[in-house]
Amino acid sequence: MNDIEKINFLINSCKKDNQRFPHTLIVSEDFSLSEAFALDIASKLGRDLVIVNAAMIRAPGDMAEVVTNRKINDLLLIEDINLFNKECLYYFCEILENFRLNLMIDSGFNARSVVVNLNEFTVIGSIAKVHLMPRKLMSSFFCIIEGKETRKIGAETIYKILNDEFISATKDVSEHIFSLTDSKRVEIKPFLKNLISFCKLSGFQKNDVLTCDTVDEYFNFFGISNFKKEIDSSRQVVIEVQREVWKRDQGKCVICQSQERLEYDHIIPFSKGGSNTVRNIQLLCESCNREKSAKI
């Protein structure tokens, strides 16, 4: 039974008995695929999906805000799940095991423990590389989905995005795009946005059908061979990724909200295998970036 078959088995079993979907870990460098996979599970189960990044959960209070609002059988996708700090990791493992949040309120003589019982929801974790996963957290997941097993979901995601934009494309072309973006380590959604723009600039009409030749033509126009070399060998963040990150983070440091002396920071350090993709880059001011570096 491959991973896709395992997921379908779990979906069918949960739908039949109205059970909670088990905690699942997805391993893929392209978080667009993790998101598509989680959305597919939520859609088939008819349940809500909330998406957060572990890097944004920096204190128990942040953790409480995320988990206390979950309804029974909700799905919670946590991207970069290896980025929990030590304190948050302790709380999170307790949540996964017992659906209980044990918080310490105040300090010193006034300190007291407050136990919050949570609704039983599902965590879908995503991580770029499995060796980055903390050992304490790994055993909390029921099963692991490798990136190669998300190929079908990736191609279906591309097919849906293109046709939603009224770009006619066959599933063979969608598979071709997925193979290229996967091998060149390019994130799917930003690339598709630019591919659609290229089609329109090239005079693409509503009834025209996207072909593999047109896709290859845009890859050559994009300069994919040089892009791949830069991604693989350099810390430099290419301008396309910088633009997407700046727009997402609203031109502010994600920690202190400063708009001064901003830098593009690798969430997973480049030296530890972190990529130059949008999902692994964030805006930090110089001060917060230095403080983060000192803790690594």
Distance of alpha carbon 137 from alpha carbon 76, whole angstroms: 16
The per-residue pLDDT string of the chain (296 residues; one tens digit each, 9 = 90 and over) reads 777 788 889 999 999 888 899 999 988 877 777 887 888 888 889 998 999 989 888 888 889 989 998 999 999 999 989 888 888 898 899 899 899 988 767 666 676 778 889 999 999 999 888 888 888 888 889 988 875 555 666 677 788 778 777 778 888 888 888 777 766 667 777 888 888 889 888 888 777 888 888 888 888 888 755 444 444 445 567 776 888 888 889 889 999 998 888 888 988 887 666 777 888 899 998 888 888 876 65
Single residue among 230, 247, 278 that ends a domain in this structure: 230
Composition of the chain by helix, strand, coil, percent to 5: 55, 15, 30
Helices (DSSP H) in the chain: which residue ranges?
3-17, 31-45, 60-67, 86-98, 135-138, 151-164, 171-183, 188-201, 212-222, 224-233, 239-248, 286-295
Q: Do 108 and 7 belong together in one domain?
A: yes
Q: Do 245 and 226 belong together in one domain?
A: no
CA-based nearest residue to 140, from 93, 181, 102: 93
CA-based nearest residue to 89, from 119, 57, 125, 118: 57
Q: Do 95 and 52 belong together in one domain?
A: yes
CATH at residue 286: 1.10.30.50
Contacts of 234 (CB under 8 A, 6+ apart): 276
- The residue range of the domain holding 266 is 235-295
Q: Do 66 and 102 belong together in one domain?
A: yes
Tokens encoding 74: 């909700």
pTM confidence score: 0.59
Q: Do 271 and 176 belong together in one domain?
A: no
Return phi, psi of residue 21, to 5°: -70, 135
In a domain, 157, yes or no: no
SS3 category, 234 = coil
Distance of alpha carbon 285 from alpha carbon 257, whole angstroms: 8
Contacts of 251 (CB under 8 A, 6+ apart): 259, 262, 283
Spatial strand order in the sheet of 75-79? 49-53, 75-79, 122-127, 24-27, 143-146
CATH at residue 112: 3.40.50.300
Tell the residue number behind the tokens 């307790």, with chain if given: 94
C-alpha separations of 155 from 84, 178, 273 in Å:
31, 6, 25
With beta carbons less than 8 A apart as the criterion, state whether 92 and 84 touch.
Answer: yes
Q: Do 19 and 117 belong together in one domain?
A: yes
Q: Do 249 and 127 belong together in one domain?
A: no
Q: Do 127 and 17 belong together in one domain?
A: yes
